[in-house]
Amino acid sequence: MSTTLSETIEMTITTTENPKVGPELARSWLLVNGAQPARFDVAANSAADVVVLDVEDSVAPADKAAARQNVIEWLSSRNELNHGWVRINGFGTAWWEEDLRALREAPGLEGVMLAMTESPEHVTRTAEMLRGTRIVALVETARGVQNLQDIATARSTYRLAFGIGDYRRDTGFGESPMVLAYTRSQFTIASRAANLPGPIDGPAVGALGAKLAEATGVTSEFGMTGKLCLMPEQTATVNEGLSPSLNELSWATDFLQEFEADGGQIRNGSDLPRLARARKVLGLATSFGMSIPEGYDVHFEAPTDTYHC
């Protein structure tokens, strides 16, 4: 049985629980140092949509084996919270194959984030070792950005992620949104062209409060739908910034109610883009467990990307 627009609206407004957000829509991707297992449960109990146990950049070479074992033990324990992703070492490093061999049988593994991805071969070779495992390609170098389109269209690429820190070290670029605008745009364009979920932006190192909200706004402005986090305290702000706003939710609800009341027929050239946008907003709101507060009755103009030209 199909769901009417009224039922969709009602479902969105009355949803109060916060369901688990899958990796396709995940907003906050929390990196956790694999050499510090005491932080694993804290991360799992945070607001993070996805926990990424890290055995790459945050772990010193001498601690790689111990960190890998910590991750395997945690993923293998019989606890409903003990599941997640792992950021593995880059293709061609001394630890890449060891990571894959160790993770191949880990029961709680949901996917891997492949560091230093520079070509589609890096993804496909990793997929050969981890059959059926989702792979986020973390692109962190100029060479990787140059090959973004090919990486995005590799059969086993699940999502793209932007490793800002290493990219800036590789290129000498600064950190301002203007300097990184072209690169961020390339991630979004490549993802969209390859029919992938929106890309995952790099972290705002040490940022909290207004500064983190501003950085997350930049992420959203460039069409990126996820963001790496380095602290559990960042996850709630990132989730809020990458979710539909109350303004958007109110507009979408009003539009669909008015559209259905008017017969549910396309009336002009702007109805189709507005209908698509409204359905997307309400669909995301449902996935994220959002609702309009009781008594909220403020109306907003249509978003600028819904006007017909």
Cross-strand pairs, 44:
none
Which of the residue ranges 9-23, 98-112, 188-202, 245-259 would you say has the lowest mean pLDDT? Answer: 9-23
Q: Which CATH number fits domain 28-241: 3.20.20.60, 3.30.505.50, 3.40.50.300, 1.10.10.10?
A: 3.20.20.60
To the nearest whole number, what is the mean pLDDT of the chain? 89
- 219, containing H or E segment: helix 209-221
Residue 309 pLDDT greater than 70, yes or no: no
What's this model's pTM, rounded to 2 decimal places?
Answer: 0.87
- Residues 111-150 have pLDDT tens digits of 999 999 999 999 999 999 998 899 999 999 999 999 999 9
Least Cα distance to 126 among 151, 146, 143, 161 occurs for: 151
CA distance 163 to 182: 15
pLDDT-derived band of residue 221, with 50, 70 and 90 as boundaries?
very high
CA distance 27 to 50: 8
Residue 12 pLDDT greater than 60, yes or no: no
Q: Copy the structure tokens of residue 266.
A: 């396309």
Q: What are phi and psi of 187, to 5 degrees?
A: -65, -45
Domains in the chain: boundaries:
28-241, 244-306
